[in-house]
Amino acid sequence: MTKYRLMVGCFAVAVFLTACGDDTPVDVGPTPPPLNGTAFIDPDILTIQDSTAFESLVALGAGSRDMYDVRVSAVGTYNVWLFQADFDDALSVEIRVNAEFDSLAAVDFADLYARRLGVLPNVLRAGMVAISVHDGRENFLGLATEMVVHAEQGETYRLQGFLEEVMAHEAVHISLDEAHANSPGWIAAQESDPTSISGFARDFPRNEDLAETFGAWLAVRWAGDSVTAFLRALIVQAVPARLEYLDAQNFVMYPVSE
């Protein structure tokens, strides 16, 4: 189904109107984005089987933390189980599991998200201080230095194979948005490209374009043969200037390898 949707988008790019008796094509308007959203284009862009920076997970006991909760769209003070995830590139992240879960479930969640974080590139983990884990089916959220995840929705992403890609998307908001999303170079790349990479990026050019494009950049620059030639061509043709902008940043991508 995903490949079918991509193909429809590709055909849409090439649609023209031809006047009766005149074979001169008439462009129907701005080129539409080729994708719906880049966190779900391919489950093999990042996987738990990839190289990892994850080193250890240490239980720190019970405590309390102020955490955002998408279920109530607000920050609250929660009793939590605390863990420290350490990575072999000298980064660490605190994992806070809402005490609505028992201690055994908290260990499982902390291990799940610590190991998924380990396959994300250094540049996406560098700005992250904590992951907050709540129950529920709400969407993940990247806020300042905190990634907010909801366990039921996370399990859906895991079963679909997209958990790592969704986490990468939210990590862009945490680690890269402030420096790049509204920078002159990024805005110039947006203006140069024929379209946005996705409808989501087009509709929210200041808030979502960078995170959406970063996922596509991972696909074409770092996912190797797991990405089809068709998908690669769609991305390269849609956002060449944005891809070049990301190339030029020389991000620390460890442990991701081409």
pLDDT given for residue 28 in this prediction: 47
pLDDT at 257: 84
The model's pLDDT over 32-66, given as tens digits with 9 standing for 90+, comes to 999 999 999 999 999 999 999 999 999 999 999 99
Q: What is the reported pLDDT for 11?
A: 29
**Residue from 7, 38, 13 nearest 210 by CA:** 38
In angstroms, rounded to a whole number, what is the distance separating the alpha carbons of residues 22 and 70?
55
> What pLDDT score does 65 carry?
98
Residues 6 or more apart from 215 whose CB is under 8 A from it? Answer: 38, 39, 41, 45, 165, 168, 169, 172
Q: What is the C-alpha to C-alpha distance for residues 159 and 150, in angstroms, rounded to an integer? A: 14
- The pLDDT, as a whole number, for residue 226 is 87
In contact, 64 and 121? CB cutoff 8 Å: no
pTM: 0.88
The pLDDT tens digits of the residues spanning 115-138 come to: 999 999 999 999 999 999 999 999
pLDDT band at 18 (very low <50, low <70, confident <90, very high): very low
